[in-house]
């Protein structure tokens, strides 16, 4: 059996004890706040660097470029990247295919050690990676820290899960035989992550693929390629052989489509919008000349997520949970609460309380750590304002609704609340992906559950209620992949809350769960007759 030796100055690592989630940083402590400020200065001095494509370990430049810009200060270039075109797809896939020939046979301990080495590097540079997230996608300190912590969690969790999977056995040993069940890698995969969790989701999908023995062509979002380039640096430092991950920013319409349709692409792991996810699914389903397998798609798409607040709920907790879930990272999460469904007896007081709470939110440059930063780009800002205009016709605007002018011309918009919205209104049904909350009145709990289930999505949801019977009904009837009781509907924790949704929210892939790695493998049963 061929092996791949990891060559690195970092000592190979093994999992230490049971998995534990990476602790969040307490920025109220002076030392942590100062460390973050220092990291912002250091990373600020590194902005504007040009990054190459990495294909089979070779650095390449292209005539066309992608510029990643700070959404709070659009004149500030975070990184300049090469723009892979359709002509690079075959080169990248072939490089990954060559690496797969040996990587698939690398001992599981070596693949696991690669991920653990990467987790160690990131943990020791946590503030630096937080700073990159502040500059590239506009996360405030808390949101950036959560993204980095989740990245470490994925690397640590999937390492342990890979070891568990490698020890799989058949349910029984048939008399007179030696029976074996092995989960073997699929081959070359396309990993296409989003910009909103550009570290955690990107690293999570990539690490799940490679720890199970696959190789990857990584096409990061054009809004967040720099953090992916920095992750490539980590993987190389951790000992990744050339070609196991190939770094190729590029257009989805050219490079992305060519990658998905390539006959040697065995699987596609994607997180993003419903429209792009369905297009990928359709393209992957069409068999190409020379293709000898059915391509697998692992899709996590959009959401139109609801929090139900029952008349018996703790109002303080419910208001805080709704506002946090609606406006954290400016509502740019597929899990964000974009609909609050409120039982009629408490509707008016809830609206008043939300309006008062939203008025206290601060908006500004995320480097200064406000509650909300910018939306990711100019197109996103236009989309949000367009939906606000629609919402003004479909309901009553009680907070926000306007862009915020800044000297740096950042993409800022006020946190917006629209009330008295009908369950079938456009802002009740369409994913906005911005800081816009629709509040819907329900005559009772039956109506609230019916409204919560009335969209094509099924990603996250929450219920605030002190009534155990109501919670049990929601457990049975609220059709979402991630359901929370008496807490917000964002903030899934690796291991505790396997993440993925139903219906048009995706393939229920359950990232961070015990069955996620199965999606990157195929089961092989071997029976040997004993002589």
Q: Which residue has the tokens 């899934």?
A: 492
Same domain, 214 and 87: yes
Q: What is the pLDDT of residue 476?
A: 98
Is residue 25 a part of any domain in this protein?
Answer: no
- Residues forming beta bridges with residue 483, ordered by sequence position: 461
Domain at 461, CATH number = 3.40.309.10
249-279 pLDDT tens trace: 999 999 999 999 999 999 999 999 999 999 9
**Mean pLDDT of all residues in 131-155:** 98
**Mean pLDDT of all residues in 497-512:** 97
Check if the beta carbon of residue 62 is closer than 8 Å to that of residue 254.
no
Pairing of strands 177-185, 460-464: unpaired
Same domain, 293 and 346: no
Burial 462-497 (b: 16+ CB within 10 A, else e): bbbbeeeebbebbeeebbbbbbbbebbbbbbebbeb
> In the chain, pLDDT over 70 holds for what percent of residues?
98
d(CA 31, CA 125): 15
Cβ-Cβ contacts under 8 Å for 333 (sequence gap 6 or more): 196, 197, 490
Q: Which residue has the tokens 């008496």?
A: 486
Domain at 42, CATH number = 3.40.605.10
What's the alpha-carbon Rg for the chain, to the nearest Å?
Answer: 23
d(CA 291, CA 197): 32
Same domain, 366 and 284: no
Q: Which residues are catalytic?
A: 300, 334
Check if the beta carbon of residue 498 is closer than 8 Å to that of residue 190.
no
Domain count of the fold of the chain: 2
Q: What is the pLDDT of residue 12?
A: 72
Number of helices (H) and strands (E), helices first, in the chain? 15, 23
**Mean pLDDT of all residues in 111-135:** 98
Among the listed residues 204, 185, 199, 188, the one whose alpha carbon sits nearest the alpha carbon of residue 244:
188
Per-residue pLDDT band for 10 (boundaries 50, 70, 90) equals low
* Cα→Cα distances 318→1, 70, 125, 305, Å: 57, 33, 36, 15
**Mean pLDDT of all residues in 407-435:** 98
| Residue-number span of the structural domain to which 229 is assigned | 30-66+78-301+509-526
Same domain, 284 and 326: no
Is residue 472 a part of any domain in this protein?
Answer: yes
Residue 220 has pLDDT above 90, yes or no: yes
Chain-centre distance for alpha carbon 331:
14
16-74 pLDDT tens trace: 889 999 999 999 999 999 999 999 999 999 999 999 999 999 999 999 999 999 999 99
Residue 447 has pLDDT above 90, yes or no: yes
Q: What is the pLDDT of residue 11?
A: 64
Same domain, 290 and 422: no
Among the listed residues 156, 506, 504, the one whose alpha carbon sits nearest the alpha carbon of residue 299:
506
* Cα→Cα distances 54→32, 91, 509, Å: 34, 11, 28
Per-residue pLDDT band for 192 (boundaries 50, 70, 90) equals very high
Q: Is 13 helix (H, G, I), strand (E, B) or coil?
A: coil
Same domain, 194 and 314: no
d(CA 323, CA 346): 17
Residue 318 has pLDDT above 90, yes or no: yes
What's the number of CA atoms in the CB half-sphere (13 Å) around residue 118?
35
Per-residue pLDDT band for 4 (boundaries 50, 70, 90) equals very low
Q: Is 414 helix (H, G, I), strand (E, B) or coil?
A: coil
Mean pLDDT of the chain: 96
- Residues forming beta bridges with residue 341, ordered by sequence position: 308, 440
> In the chain, pLDDT over 90 holds for what percent of residues?
97
Same domain, 259 and 349: no
Check if the beta carbon of residue 210 is closer than 8 Å to that of residue 111.
yes
Among the listed residues 440, 396, 391, 388, the one whose alpha carbon sits nearest the alpha carbon of residue 414:
388
Same domain, 323 and 269: no
User: Residue 386: is it exposed, middle or buried by C-beta count within 10 angstroms (0-12/13-18/19+)?
Assistant: exposed
Same domain, 237 and 340: no
Same domain, 62 and 151: yes
Same domain, 115 and 236: yes
Residue 237 has pLDDT above 60, yes or no: yes
C-beta atoms surrounding 370 within 10 Å: 15
Per-residue pLDDT band for 9 (boundaries 50, 70, 90) equals very low
**Mean pLDDT of all residues in 477-500:** 98
Q: What is the pLDDT of residue 6?
A: 43
Check if the beta carbon of residue 415 is closer than 8 Å to that of residue 405.
no
Is residue 168 a part of any domain in this protein?
Answer: yes
Residue 474 has pLDDT above 80, yes or no: yes
Same domain, 440 and 475: yes
Is residue 184 a part of any domain in this protein?
Answer: yes
Among the listed residues 339, 343, 274, 342, the one whose alpha carbon sits nearest the alpha carbon of residue 304:
339
Check if the beta carbon of residue 100 is closer than 8 Å to that of residue 110.
no
Is residue 102 a part of any domain in this protein?
Answer: yes
């Amino acid at each position: 059996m061929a092996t791949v030796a990891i060559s690195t100055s970092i000592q190979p690592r093994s999992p230490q004890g049971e998995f534990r989630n990476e602790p969040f940083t307490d920025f109220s402590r002076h030392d942590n706040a100062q460390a973050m400020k220092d990291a912002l200065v250091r990373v600020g001095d590194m902005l504007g660097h040009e990054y190459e494509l990495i294909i089979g370990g070779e650095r390449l430049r292209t005539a066309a470029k992608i510029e990643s810009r700070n959404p709070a200060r659009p004149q500030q270039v975070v990184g300049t990247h090469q723009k892979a075109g359709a002509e690079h797809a075959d080169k990248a896939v072939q490089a990954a295919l060559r690496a797969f020939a040996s990587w698939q046979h690398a001992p599981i301990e070596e693949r696991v050690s690669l991920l653990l080495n990467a987790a160690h590097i990131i943990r020791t540079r946590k503030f630096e990676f937080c700073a990159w997230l502040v500059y590239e996608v506009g996360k405030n300190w808390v949101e950036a820290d959560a993204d980095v912590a989740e990245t470490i969690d994925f690397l640590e969790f999937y390492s342990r899960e890979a070891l568990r999977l490698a020890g799989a056995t058949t349910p029984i040993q048939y008399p007179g035989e030696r029976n074996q069940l092995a989960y073997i890698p699929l081959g070359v995969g396309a990993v296409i992550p989003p910009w909103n969790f550009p570290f955690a989701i990107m690293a999570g999908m990539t690490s799940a693929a490679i720890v199970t023995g696959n190789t990857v062509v990584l096409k990061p979002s054009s809004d967040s390629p720099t953090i992916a380039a920095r992750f490539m640096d980590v993987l190389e430092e951790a000992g990744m052989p050339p070609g196991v991950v190939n770094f190729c920013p590029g257009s989805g319409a050219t490079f992305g489509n060519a990658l998905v349709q390539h006959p040697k692409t065995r699987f596609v792991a994607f997180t993003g919008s419903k429209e792009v996810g369905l297009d990928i699914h359709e393209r992957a389903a069409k068999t190409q000349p020379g293709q000898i397998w059915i391509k697998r798609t692992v899709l996590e798409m959009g959401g139109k997520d609801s929090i139900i607040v029952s008349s018996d709920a703790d109002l303080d907790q419910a208001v805080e949970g709704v506002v946090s879930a609606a406006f954290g990272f400016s509502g740019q999460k597929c899990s964000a609460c974009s609909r609050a469904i409120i039982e009629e007896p408490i509707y008016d007081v809830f609206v008043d309380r939300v309006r008062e709470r939203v008025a206290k939110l601060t908006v500004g440059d995320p480097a200064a750590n406000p509650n909300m930063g910018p939306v990711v780009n100019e197109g996103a800002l236009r989309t949000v304002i367009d939906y606000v205009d629609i919402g003004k016709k479909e309901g009553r605007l009680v907070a926000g609704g306007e862009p915020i002018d800044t000297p740096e011309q950042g993409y800022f918009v006020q946190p917006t609340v629209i009330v008295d919205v009908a369950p079938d209104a456009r802002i009740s049904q369409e994913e906005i992906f911005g800081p816009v909350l629709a509040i819907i009145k329900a005559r009772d709990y039956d109506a609230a559950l019916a409204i919560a289930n009335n969209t094509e999505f099924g990603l996250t949801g929450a219920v605030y209620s002190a009534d155990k019977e109501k919670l049990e009904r929601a457990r049975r009837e609220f059709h979402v992949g991630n359901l929370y009781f008496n807490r917000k509907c964002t903030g899934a924790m690796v291991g505790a809350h396997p993440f993925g949704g139903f219906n048009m929210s995706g393939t229920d892939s359950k990232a961070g769960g015990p069955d996620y790695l199965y999606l990157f493998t195929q089961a092989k049963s071997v029976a040997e007759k004993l002589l």
